[in-house]
Amino acid sequence: MNENSVSILGCGWLGLPLAGFFAGKGFRVKGSTTTEGKFDALRAAGAEPFRIAIGDKVEGDLNSFLQSDILIVDIPPQRCEDIVEYHVGQVSMLIDAILESPVKHVLFVGSTSVYPALGRELVEEDAQDPDAADTEVGRALLYVEEMLRSESGFSTTVVRFSGLIGPGRTPLDFMRRMKEIADPEQPVNLIHLDDCVQVISRIISSGVWGEVFNASCPGHPMRKDFYAAAAESHGVALLPFAATAVHPSRTISSAKLEKTLEYSFLHPDPIAFARSVE
């Protein structure tokens, strides 16, 4: 492919290392943040920093930021009372700007929270109706997916990541914020930061546009086993298990991604990750 420039809207936990990865591959990278205090980190990663904030209006030089072949959108819905309407409004403004830019392809970082509570293995086709999603976040994301994918002025691929693990997101980190482990009999659906970066890279390098992919590592141990492995390996007390289930059991399938992209996960087993991290 000839595309060698990428703009990353939202350079946080995933976006910042993604910027460093693409800069290391020789891409011209533009990275956005809502605070200029992160400019030094973006420059250190090899990206040109921009302050872009999209709320009720656009703040920052969005036009210059979008002077790239590819746009990666990694801005999760903000937790607010009118979350669906607010996020749809944000992305509507973004789409208007994209259509006036040279951006040819958009990669939208979504989430498996778009799925309804079906209590079984879930594939990409199981999320069709935004109003059937379990949460308002899921509804907002699915509406936005549809908006982006329906545009003819650029092509969009959506990657729906499961729960994110990696630096600062370990089972020990999670347990520090818990009083008990909810849904201990429910399988985990997780993906490591390394795999997030590699999946996005594979989509872009392969030119696979106009698709929707689940991205969740193939191992799905029970939550109780995931946290027990971490507690035992690191000599900490295991939190009590909640007696009542809160969410229905579900397992996210990444079979389509593995087949289409010929991708093998770097971290296929959450238990191995739970035992290895400090």
For position 250, what pLDDT does the model report?
87
- Per-residue pLDDT of 58-92, as tens digits, reads 999 999 999 999 999 999 887 777 899 999 999 99
Parallel, antiparallel or unpaired: strands 121-122 and 190-192: unpaired
Residue 235 backbone zone (phi > 0: left; psi -120 to 50: alpha; other: beta): left
Look up tokens 């939190």; give the residue: 239
How far CA 250 is from CA of 50, 95, 111, in Å, comes to 39, 33, 14
pLDDT of residue 3: 66
* pLDDT at 1 exceeding the cut of 50: no
Q: What is the mean pLDDT of residues 250-277?
A: 95
- The letter for the amino acid at 162 is S
What are the pLDDT digits (tens) for 18-45?
A: 999 999 999 999 999 999 999 999 999 9
% of the chain surpassing 90 pLDDT: 86
* Token output for 127: 């999320």
Q: What is the pLDDT of residues 98-116, one digit of tens each?
A: 999 999 999 999 999 999 8
Give the DSSP letter of residue 130: G
Q: Model pTM? A: 0.95
Query: For all residues of the chain together, what is the average pLDDT?
Result: 94
Give me the architecture of the 5-164+191-217+251-266 domain, per CATH: 3-Layer(aba) Sandwich (3.40)
Strand 212-215, strand 190-192: pairing: unpaired
Residue 278 is predicted with a pLDDT of 56
* The predicted structure's pLDDT at residue 146: 95
Q: Which among 43, 52, 44 has a CA at the least distance from the CA of 71?
A: 52
Of 73-87, 183-197, 249-263, which gets the smallest average pLDDT?
73-87
Domains in the chain: boundaries: 5-164+191-217+251-266
- pLDDT for the residue numbered 118: 83
What is the number of other CB atoms lying within 10 angstroms of the CB of residue 193?
19
The arithmetic mean of pLDDT across residues 123-149, rounded, is 92
